[in-house]
Each structure stands twice: as C-alpha cells, then as structure tokens.
Amino acid sequence: MLKKALCLMPLLTLNCQSIRSHVTANDRTFDFCTASGAYPNAYDPYVWSGAMVQTALTDLINYPTLQNAPEAAYAISYRRMTQARDEARCHGELVDKDPAMNLLTHQLADIMTRWYIAETRLCLAGKADVNNGFCGVFTRSRKDNYDAISFAMADTAVYLSSHIAWSLSALAYNDNFWSEFPDPATRHDQGPFKDSLAARKRWLLDFKPTYDRFNSFLGANLSVVATALAEAGMLRDQSLVVASSLSKLIPCKSSMFSSIRDKSFKVAMEILEEGKPELHPMIRADHARYVLNYTKFEARGDGPTAIKTIEDFSLNALANPVARATYRDILGGKTSNQLKCEI
C-alpha cells in the first residue's frame, strides 16, 4: 500500500485527467474533463475529447444505410448515454477519489467508444464476415426484422459482454497508456512483458469497485435511452409514456447489468492470464511494444470460447425472442417497414 501511495503522489493535483504518452515541452497532458491541454484528433492513439465523441457518433448516426432504420437505434441512444456517462465521470457519481482509478476509467471509456464506432462502420461497409459482436447483431436484425428497441438492447448486450472483455484486456496490454501511469512497475519499454503485465493486472483488480459503480448508473439511466429513441421517432404511439416506463419493464436493471459485467471482467482477466497481446484484435505490435490498433482496424474473430459464452449469455438475457416481442409489441419499438413508411 505504501508503494502504491508513493507512486500516486504526482497525481494528487489531478481531477479527471486522461493519458497522453508523448508530451512535448509545449504540450500539457490532455485533460478529458476540461478539454484542455494537448488536443487529440481522429488519428490520435490515446484519447478523444467529449466533443469528439459526440461528433463521431453523430457522423455514425448519419451513415446512409442507417437512415430511417431500426439499426440506428443503438447509436442514437449511445450518443445520449455517453453524454450522461461523461458528465458523471467528470463531475458526478462516477468520479473516484483515487486519481489513478479515474485514469483507468477514461482509458476504458475511450477504447470502448472508439472501437464500437470503428467496428460498426466496418459492419455497415460490409467488410466483416463475422457472426459475433456488433456485426452479428446487424446480421440477426436484418434476418429477424428487429424493431428499434430490440436492436438497441441487442447491441447493449454485446457492449456489456464481449466488448467490455476485449476492451478491458486491451487497456491492460496498451503500453502507451501505462508509460505515463504513476506506478513504474506497470511500464514496459523493452524486454520481458510478464512482470509489467502482472502489475497491470493488480491495478485492474483494484479498479473493480470503480468499474462496479457503473452498474447502478446504467440501470438508473435507461430512461435516457428511451427518451433518445422517442425523440428520434423510433417508438410508436404514446412514446413518451413508454419512455418513462422503460426502466420498469426491461429486465435489465442494475442487478442484471452487474451479473453481465462481472462475467465480462472475469473473461478479461482470463484473456490476460494467457498473456498473448499479439493475438488480441485491438492490439498491434510496435517494435518491442504493444499499442492500441486504431490504424489498421480488423473485425475480431471468434476469440476465446469464454468470449462467445459471455456474449451469448448477455444476448439471451437482454434480447431473447420473448424480450424482443415485449420491446416491439408493448414498448412500441418501430420495425424497418414502419420507419420506411414514414419517409
């Protein structure tokens, strides 16, 4: 504990600060919450600002094949949810008293958002022949005629399960992030990777209570999702009434989120136990280092069996046939035909 306390001394003056590895004498580390310091751009491998997140999601929503389509539902609701999330992790209940935990929160959020956008664009472009992840949801939606709420909940199921597991393990493998982390034991510039990875895993285990704090936040903000869909015209009659009732009817309040996210955390740690960053779809080798792969994105394959298992569990919990019928017939999610009739 003393060692950890000492290594955190440089962070005591920070609030919601994000990581940037290579800072020149004229640059300050980019601060996510104030959007000050070295400003990132679309090709920056470290972190996006909140404004950039909203711009990128708006661009995704405006993708031609998503116009008047239920498959736009998750991007629409996610844009609204990220606004609430980013406010909460800077000024609300998701801020941790330990600055190091806020660093981990920001990096995990950044990876999850940017990879969701990248993978979804790949799916829309027809460049991913896979049956899992977000592309798998697109395939099933078109085959089974999902309504808007069903699509949003199916993507939510993927996001909370396999996407978290891949993203959390990618965070641990990303040398750029840990190069600026306050614990020197986590740094890896060359040579064996095992010792630094072990230190990173210890930090992730310490991060678990902060990670768990998102469960109640997600359960409490389902009305944010419903309101976004209602305003976008993706719900039928009495949509505002339905929106206010969504969190009561959908079987995925904080206890369900907790169950799924606990399993996802466990799977992430299992991936790290294998210790093979070169096989991770979100990671690329950069000489003797491993960094996030934003420059040559490729759809993830099946991955470990545990990845498929947790994704299937989550989809069955949140988007099974009975649940989808409820979303369509009771909550009023519009189908593709209904949306196209309104053009």
Q: To which residue do tokens 């369900």 refer?
A: 256
Task: Give the sign of the dihedral formed by CA 201, CA 203, CA 208, CA 213.
Answer: negative
The letter for the amino acid at 135 is C
Q: Which amino acid is at 301?
A: G
Q: What is the pLDDT of residue 25?
A: 28
Q: What is the pTM of this model?
A: 0.86
The neighbour count for residue 114, using CB atoms within 10 Å, is 22
Contact (CB, 8 A) for 148 and 333: yes
* pLDDT score for 41: 42
Q: Which domain holds residue 99?
A: 47-340
User: If you count them, how many residues does the chain have?
Assistant: 343
- Tally the domains of the chain: 1
Residue 4: the pLDDT is 38
Contact call for residues 165 and 111 (beta carbons, < 8 A): no
- Say what the pLDDT of residue 79 is: 95
The answer to the question of residue 296 being in a domain is yes
Question: CA dist 12 to 6, 43, 92, Å?
Answer: 10, 30, 19
Domain-located, residue 259: yes
- The rounded distance, in Å, linking the Cα atoms of 246 and 331 is 7
The two tokens of residue 32 are 């996510």
- 154 near 141, Cβ under 8 Å? yes
Q: Is 19 within the bounds of a domain?
A: no
Within a domain: residue 152?
yes
112 domain-assigned: yes
Is residue 229 situated within a structural domain? yes
Q: Chunked in runs of 10, what are the mean pLDDT values of the chain (343 residues)?
A: 35 33 40 62 60 91 93 95 91 91 92 92 82 91 93 95 96 89 87 87 97 86 82 76 56 74 96 90 86 70 83 94 90 86 67
**8 located within any domain:** no
Burial (Cβ within 10 Å: 0-12, 13-18, ≥19) of residue 164: buried
- pLDDT reported for residue 272: 95
Angle of the 50-61 helix axis to the 99-124 helix axis, nearest 10 = 20
- Half-sphere exposure (Cβ direction) of 115: Cα atoms closer than 13 Å: 28
Has residue 35 been placed in a domain? no
